[in-house]
Structure 1
Amino acid sequence: MSQPPVVECPTCGAPVEWSAESTFRPFCSDRCKLIDLGAWASEEHKIPVSPDAEDELFSEDFEPRH
């Protein structure tokens, strides 16, 4: 049987075996998982979008801006 792949924890860089036994994968621990969650919650991490994307998504819900 082959070895499961090993990835780096996105928070601290520690090696993490990618298997069912790795409860917090891709993170090495609950602490690193919560640090990452906090970064998303405080908007340190963002998914890039064009400035007009939100206007296009909700354009039918609101009156047009002038």
Structure 2
Amino acid sequence: HVDSGKSTTTGHLIYQCGGIDKRTIEKFEKEAAELGKGSFKYAWVLDKLKAERERGITIDIALWKFETPRY
């Protein structure tokens, strides 16, 4: 299931739910474009390591606390 978009989908969900602001996503988009990986902006919400960003793969796990009004 490599390259199926797990990090990208999760990062986009975090952004859509307000877990990260638009300015940060715009920063990731600019940095990703500079590396020729413009579509990776949402994956970078979770992929923090330099090697992850350069290679376009997730190496280390990432945890993000996610709460809803009910749970």
Q: Same fold (TM over 0.5)?
A: no
TM-score using structure 1 length:
0.29
User: Does 1 or 2 have the higher relative contact order (CA < 8 Å, sep 6+)?
Assistant: 2
TM-score using structure 2 length:
0.27
Higher strand share: 1
Higher helix share: 2
